[in-house]
Amino acid sequence: MTAHVTPWQCPPRTVLAAVDFSEASARAVAIAGLVASAFDAKLRALHSERFEPPPYFTVEQIERLEAERRSAEAAAVGHLMQYVADATAYPVEAVVLDEPPVDAILHAATTADLIVMGSHRRRRPARWWLGSVAERVVRAARVPVLVTRGSETAAIDIFERVVLVGDGVEPGEQVRACAETLAVTFGGRVTDGGQVAGCAPEVMWHASLVVIATGLVRPSWGITDAVASALGACERPVLFVPAR
């Protein structure tokens, strides 16, 4: 049986910003708001964190904690709204869930065309990224995922010099068209980077955004594959675009 693949659209109709309240996350919200505004798309901000009571708690203690959790969740929505408003003026739907972050993001992505999320600034080796939220989302998502780090530059600047590369597959016309749509909309341009491993110096030198065309079948884990290499080594934002 063929697995269902979300028919994502570019330009996007719905943009999902995954929020963990970090500096990189604020940058992701700013980029998501910029893209949503340019294409009159819906913008959703999602924060998710699983609450697990200690196994030794009594039923009464768990019930009391659950009541406190519901109250805290309501307050968290307000905090998320303020956090998002500080990063973008574009209208947003704020959602707070008590679920594992990866599961929540992937579920929300079934009704989105683009995921934008931050990643924490780390250095090589790439294996440090194995199992991270960003890496797990990129590997499992069937819609484009834009991963960014924190930065003081304007969000629009990432679309100035878009470099399109492959991770072993040739970028199809849909991937190329998506990269060009984003670049041209914000006054940028697209150049070809060819087939490279992660973010080679020659790519980094010319890029403000690296677009990696990925196949639908991707390794679950790996230290040297394109996903781990890009997340572990790229100082530039990376947009992973799967085949449709």
Q: Where are the domains of the chain?
A: 14-242
**Nearest CA to 212 among 188, 233, 195?**
195
Instruction: Give the domain 14-242 fold.
Output: Rossmann fold (3.40.50)
Tens digit of each residue's pLDDT (9 = 90 or more) over 58-107: 667 656 666 666 656 667 788 899 999 999 999 999 999 888 899 999 99
Q: Among 16-25, 30-39, 224-233, whose mean pLDDT is lowest?
A: 224-233
> Interhelix angle for 226-233 vs 133-140, to 10°?
140
Q: What percent of the chain has pLDDT over 90?
A: 41
The model carries a pTM of 0.83
The pLDDT score that the predictor gives to residue 158 is 94
**Nearest CA to 41 among 5, 18, 65, 16?**
16
Q: Is pLDDT above 90 for 132? A: no
Tens digit of each residue's pLDDT (9 = 90 or more) over 173-200: 888 999 999 999 999 999 887 766 556 6
| Chain centroid offset of residue 59 CA | 38
